[in-house]
Every structure is written in C-alpha cells, then in structure tokens.
Chain A
Amino acid sequence: MQVTMTVNGATVSQDVEPRTLLVQFLRENLNLTGTHVGCDTSSCGACTIVVNGESVKSCTLLAVQCDGAEITTIEGLASNGTLHPIQEGFREKHGLQCGFCTPGMIMSSWQLLQRNPKPSEQEIRHALEGNFCRCTGYDNIVKAVQWAAEQSA
C-alpha cells in the first residue's frame, strides 16, 4: 500500500506492507534509526515520536494509519542546527547514559512541556511513566526536563 506523510518537514511516499509498523517504516524504510525499539508490548517508550502534535509510541501504529500525517522524530527536533532546550537539558543534567531510551524520553518530555510548561517533579515523573530508562534512575531525567522548562520560561 502506498503511504505519504511528512516526516521532519519532508514529504515521503512509499509502498509498504499493510502490517508494517510505523516504527519499522521510520527505521527500515526511511533509515531514521534514532527512534528505537525496546520491547514488543508498547511498554518501554523507546519508540516515542510526535504524530500530528501528539507524542505516540510508534510501535502501536501501522504505517498505513499515518497516511497524510505530520511526524517529528528525534532527528527532526533540532532546528537549523540548534538543539531543542530538552536536548540541551539532557546533556546539561546528565539525563542519559547509554542513550538508547533517550530519543523516546526526549519526545515524551516534549509533549509534557507542550501541555504543561512548568511541571512539578511529580508531574514530570508521572508524565514519563511510559518510558523506561534502565541507566539513570530517572533522577537526572527529571532535572533535565526541569532545566528545559526553565529555559523556555
């Protein structure tokens, strides 16, 4: 089936098997490998991206469901070479170690700050509940999001 969508500002159109997951389409068809796969139960959040302004786990959608959609992945978050404050925050506060969960974590944080520009620690922890990190213990991820929130203030 033919699907057409806008990914990180560029229009892409490809023929895919109907069963192709959106995350597979991004990784395998478009070579956007910044979006990761960490599980097969939509639990870990490593594949989180933004579809039409909402953060979603891209393993829960079929590529064909996203025909006409506007998609942002981690590769498209920085603009003109300038990192997004959330990306900066993760570096500034050591919010990542192995880096595998990081893209999904950043995209979920992006959604949180869109909805709640000044979240409390508990609100951040609650919002990131769907993203697993095995390295950081989350403490510095919370601080990274707080840092980003302060920058945008």
Chain B
Amino acid sequence: MGKYIGQAIKRVEDQRFITGAGQYTDDLVLPRMTHAYILRSPFAHAKINGVNTEAAQAAPGVVAVFTGEDVKDVNGVPCGWQVNFSSTGETMREPKHPLLVHDKARHVGDSVAVVIAETREQARDAAELIEVDYQELAPVVESPDALKAGAPKVHDDLPDNMVYDWELGDKAATDAGIAGSQHVVSMKIRNQRLVPNPIEPRSYIGQYDASRDNYTLYTSSQNPHVIRLLMCAFVLGIPEHKVRVVAKDVGGGFGSKIYHYTEEALVTWASKQIGRPIKWTSERSEAFVTDAHGRDHYTTAEMGFDGEGKITALRVHTDANLGAYLSTFSTAVPTYLYGTLLQGQYTTPAIHVSVNAVFTNTTPVDAYRGAGRPEATYMLERLMDTAAAQLGMDPAELRIKNFIPPFDGVNQPGYQTQVALQYDSGNYEAAMRKALQLIGYDQLRREQEEARRQGRYIGIGFSSYIEACGIAPSAVVGSLGARAGLFESANVRVQPTGMVSVYTGSHSHGQGHDTTFAQVVAEHLGIPMENVEIIHGDTEQVPFGMGTYGSRSLAVGGSAIVGALEKVKEKGAKVAAHLLEASEQDLEFADGSWTVRGTDKSISFGEVALASYVPHNFPAGMEPGIEFNSFYDPANFTYPFGTYIAVVEVDPETGKTTVKRFVAVDDVGNIVNPMIVEGQIHGGLAQGIGQALLEGAVYDESGQLTTGTFLDYAMPRADDLPSFQVDGNVTPCPHNPLGAKGAGEAGCIGSTPAIVNAVVDALRPLGVNDLSMPLTPQNVWAAIQSA
C-alpha cells in the first residue's frame, strides 16, 4: 500500500454534490435557448400515412416543428459493432435508425416529430396539436416469436427479423461430450428484460454558432468523444473539429448512456436549422421507452457431468432480442460479451454456443451493467446449483471440484478457454474459501436444517462469477467487428507552479475518478493529492477518449495516465540532472524529489516544474515545459472474479423473499481506493438483486410496455436490501501497470444467480426446483402452489 494508492481517501468530488452545486446537463441554461419536445409513437408498429403539423406550427411560442420527412436525407445513428452471420458469412442486418421516422413506427416511443418552442411547456402543448395518421400493424414482441414463419417484419426491406446468427466453440466435441456424459442438466433459462434507470434522465443541448460554423453538444453521456465521432462521421457529416461535445456531471449511466442516441443528433442538427440552442430532457416515462434496455435472453442450456461430478461439456442456444433498431453496442452483447464468458471459472473441456439475434417491435436493447456477462453467469450458476441438487452434491463442493487451478499470469501462463479468451490471472478457490468462511457455511447449513424443522424456509445460494473487463485490446476487438479501438488516452500537464492537470478520456458519472486518478498521480509524482486536478468530459480539453463502461476506467484509462506520468518523470529527470549538474543515471526519484545518489543534493518536483517554464539556462535542444500525452491499448482483457453467497428466507404463505445476509468476495486485482471499490460492489449488488427479486420490463401482446413508470417497474428501495458483507482477495492483473482489473460491474454480474439459487434452495423441500425472475411474491407463491 502506498501513501495514496490503497487508501480509503474521501472523495474530492463530493463537495459539489452534497451542496447541490453539481452541474448536470439539464441544469445548464444557454442564452436564447429553446426547448424541444419529441412526439413519440403510441403504437409498437404502425404505418405513418401522414403527419399534419399546421396547428402545432401556429401554436404559441413555437419556433419550429420537424418530422421524419425533414430528416429523410440525414443518416441514422450507427451501430458500433459488426457481427456477421456465422452460417453464411453475410454481414449483419443493419437497417437505418432515423432521427425521426417517416414511414412507420417500429416501437412504442419511436420518434415521430419534434417541436421546438420558447419553453418546454409550449413545446409539449404544441405537440398535442400534431395529427399523425397511424395505421396500426401487428407487432412482434418476444424473440422466439420473431423468427416464426409469418411473423410481422419490423423492417420491411429485410427478408426476416434476424439480425445475425452467431456461434462459438467446438460443436462436434461438445455434442460428443454431452452424449458421453453420465448426467446432463438441461434448463430453459429466461434472463428478463431490464430498464437501466439511472436517476438522471438523459438530457442534451445542441448549440450551433454561425459565426464560427461550429457546434457544441452538451450531453449526459458516458463517452463524449465517441458521441462526437459517431455523430460527426456517421450521422451528420460534420468535420469533427467543428463539434465540441461536453459531458459534465452525469447522474449515473450503467451502460444506458454509452450509446449515441437519435436525440443527440437531432438537437445538434436542428440547432443549425433554427440558429438557436435547443435543450431536450427526457421525461421518465419517455426514458422507459427510449433508453436502451438490457438483457432479454431466452436460453436453452445443457451441461454434462461425469460420474465424479466433473463438467464434461456445455451446450447453449440463446435467442437475443435487440429491439427495433441496433443500438451502438447492442450486437456485441449477446456474442463477444456473452458467448466468450461461458467457460466461467470451470475447466469445462468442450463448449458450444449459438445465438440468434432478432429485431422486435420493442425498445432497442444494449449493454446494461455487466452486459452479456450477467446473462452468461446467471445461466452457468443456475446450472451449477441445479446440477449439485440433481447429483446430490454440495453446491460449493461441486464448484471447487471444477475450478480452474490458480494461475498468476506471470509464473504460470494465462488460462486458454474453449471460447476464445485467455484469462489473465485467477485464484477461484481462494475466493470461494473466503466466502465460505465469512458466511460460516457449516453452521449455516445446520441452521437451515433446524429452521426447516420449525417450518421456516431458509435458502443458501452460490454464485462464482468471472467477467472480462478493462475493455479492450483494439486488435482483438477489431478482429471481432468493433468499428473503433478501445484504448484510452491521457494528457498530463505540469503547471509552472508544480500543480498537475490531468485530462483523461475516461468519464466519471459516479465512479469517483477525481479522487482515484488523483491518488494515482500523487503516488507516482510524490506530490500532495490537492495539487492534482482531474479533467474529463470535454472533447475540447481532452485529447481523445473512449469513455467509461465495461469496468475499464482504471485498468485502461488509469494505465494511460501512468504512461503519461512516466514521460513526465523522464523529462523531469533530464531537467533535474541539468539543474543539479549531475548525470541522469546518478539521480533517484522519491517523495517528489530528485536526489543525486549518495549526496544531499536534491531538487523538488515543483522546482523542476518552475525551471521548465522559466528556462533561462536550459541547454540547447532541451524543450521548455512539461506536458505529455499517452495512449494506452491493453494487451488483454482483465478478468475479475469472485464468489457470492446469499442467504434468504421465504415466507411460503405469501411468497415473499427476505435477503437475510449477502457475502461478496471479489478479486478485482490491485485496488486504488477500497472505499470506492466497496461502493461500486454495493451498487452492483443492488442492481443484481433488483433483477433477481423485483425488476422486469413487461410488454403486452400489442407491444405496450406495461411497466413504463416507477409505479409499475419495481426499483430496489432502501428497505428491499440488506446490509452487505463485502470482502476480497487480490490477484493482480499481470498486464497493466496498475495491476488493476476493474470493479464496476462485478456486483451486478455475480449477485443475481446467488439470490435465485438461494430461493430455490429454500423451496426445494416444497418441490420447487426452478423459478423465473423476477422472484416477486406472486411468482414465488404461484410456483409453490403448482409444485
């Protein structure tokens, strides 16, 4: 542990948030700003025969009204990942996702027209005056229905609703492995659709400056540079240097604010048409039908075992619902972030997965906290607990029997999986052992027995997860179809006074980068943390950035900062050597000073900084100033892992589940700030437990989202959750300079199956062997009744 790295330092960004001084996009007011309201389709699937905006145009305060006809020649928002058909090699189907539709609406909430007015209320009032001639069409809602013969087509110009078919792994070996197994566990697994619901709704302001012919987009985004790239190069055809994208404080994202949304391009485009800034802020009901959703898989899985309980093979087929259009990351989620994780923590010798991704008349689906990895983990860990029950083995023992042995990636090589990835380092049994010890497993099983005798239903559920984070090596993702590299950049500017400004391409929307990144800088330069300022979220200030998602900020963004710091120290040493009249080789750098080895001749970082900007006696060839950029492209993904154990009690009379205890043992590599890591785990656990017990987006047959408000979609509340018992081990990442793996998604990936396994474990004596999420009292009660 260092002076800064490894310390639970309180967050420096908190001051503005606890005093109400945060600056979220909707808080900004620009001169002459107008307000946009978007008229959305109330139908899941409807032909648009005409849109009459006459009355709206004439309504009080209205500045402009645009419809699909007006943006017909503007490109749609693109998808960032190309996944080809495995069967034919054909390119995935990628229909246009227009800024406003003109021919037909393809999901409830599809954008039909935009009204721009002096106030938000005037825009909304005027939108009510727009007459749209809709001709309702039959919709298709669930993915298994989308491929049936005669299913309604979401996109008329495509042959069917298939986006792509995709497979990975050795099919012949897997089929043989399953066929030769002593025991096969087969399950149908539904991973229900979720709505991310960051508490800040999306908000954008587009501003065109005619005098400079340039644009500014203020956006609640997780990755401003990517938005700029996609919007400029693919949608609006504006040179990138003419667009500044600013994402100041952002109120949570969880994936849903990664993507380039139509509204961003729309307010930017329209601001030029009207010559005034335009703000659009989503209402919550609007967010429910327009923020990209998560999950939505239908899966069949078979896992084979030999007579000793060793896994022999895993065969999986998944139908993945991508909604009406391809959102930015959507195509990568059920493939490269899912199929590649099916090795889990186990030595499974043969794995095959096939995926059909389909269009439906629903809100687009994309990465939501965990993105593919929760779906993979849920399936694997449900299979493991079910297998343990069927084989009559303890679920912990079955896992331990199948764990990959420890490897650190330095003395032992990484672990080559059957599904393309090579794990960097892992020690799976250690995490399991620690979790067993923390929960007091043996005693707990005795208590469970005792409770059962008293007619109380206590259950213990396990989950041993692995994830691929630190997204991602550009060469690897490029070969997989990513249309961008997933490196990160940093700029370290040493000011003349020795203060340090760091411009990072990572984006903080709750992760606390102002603190953790400053800890990294202070540690490396031996200067006080107060002397460091972290700047992010502005394409005009930061050189470039791929943004924050996939638990990548510290592992990739932090590594880029370290790269720039190394260059700073290198230059500083040259300047110090000159000033000390010593040779560079004789200098050592510690505690913020360069010292001539074996002497008391020393010069501080601040003095070197000042001299670099007042270079009165610099030798020829030595440049003034100290400022360096670094781009970091990781050598591999990082692979955090852990074991979670949930203890629940179920009331069989009401079906209500109470989470009694939750132990989480995570190994996320080296930790810069344990307080912040614990906070990230907590938040992930809440979302994962939310999926298990409460949350679920439900569409009716007509394609209406029946869970379209917070009154109908159950968000986890304070009294739904227990206090968490969080602990961890450290197996450093062997391939990045910080040894960090990432902690943003772990909790959300590992917790869901632990809870469901616990509830099933509680109810096995009643004959319940499987349950479908969310485990609402009604669902659980019904399962008990029909058992």
Q: Which of A's residues lie within 8 Å of B, judged by CB?
A: 17, 19, 27, 31-41, 43-44, 46, 73-75, 77-78, 83, 87, 90-92, 94, 96-103, 106, 121-122, 124-126, 128-129, 131-142
Contact = CB atoms under 8 A, between A and B. Distances in A.
Interface residues of B, number: 58
Main secondary structure of the interface of A (DSSP, over half): loop
Interface stretch (B209-217, B471-479, B494-502, B681-689): B681-689
B627 interface: no
Contacts of A102: 17-18
A101 B17 CA distance: 9
B443 interface: no
Given A38-B201, A103-B20, 5 more contacts: A39-B284, A41-B711, A46-B199, A92-B10, A135-B510
A19 B125 CA distance: 12
27 contacts: A17-B121, A34-B19, A34-B20, A34-B21, A38-B200, A38-B284, A74-B20, A75-B20, A83-B19, A87-B18, A94-B11, A94-B676, A97-B510, A97-B683, A98-B509, A99-B13, A99-B22, A100-B22, A101-B251, A125-B717, A134-B252, A134-B254, A137-B686, A139-B682, A139-B721, A140-B679, A141-B718
A123 to B, nearest CB: 10
A122 B198 CA distance: 25
B251 A44 contact: no
Contacts of B511: 97
Contacts of B199: 36, 38, 44, 46, 98, 100-101, 132-134
B200 A83 contact: no
A139 B724 contact: yes
B30 interface: no
B416 interface: no
B78 interface: no
Contacts of B249: 98-99
A99 B710 contact: no
A35 B512 CA distance: 21
A131 B510 CA distance: 17
Residue from B20, B252, B747 with most neighbouring chain A CB atoms (10 Å)? B20
Contacts of A44: 199, 284, 710
Nearest to B712: A41
Contacts of B682: 136-140
Given A38-B284, A134-B254, A98 B709 contact: no
Contacts of B285: 40-41
B252 A137 contact: no
Contacts of B723: 121, 139, 142
B284 A40 contact: yes
A116 to B, nearest CB: 15
A132 B687 CA distance: 12
B20 A98 contact: no
Nearest to B200: A100
A122 B721 CA distance: 10
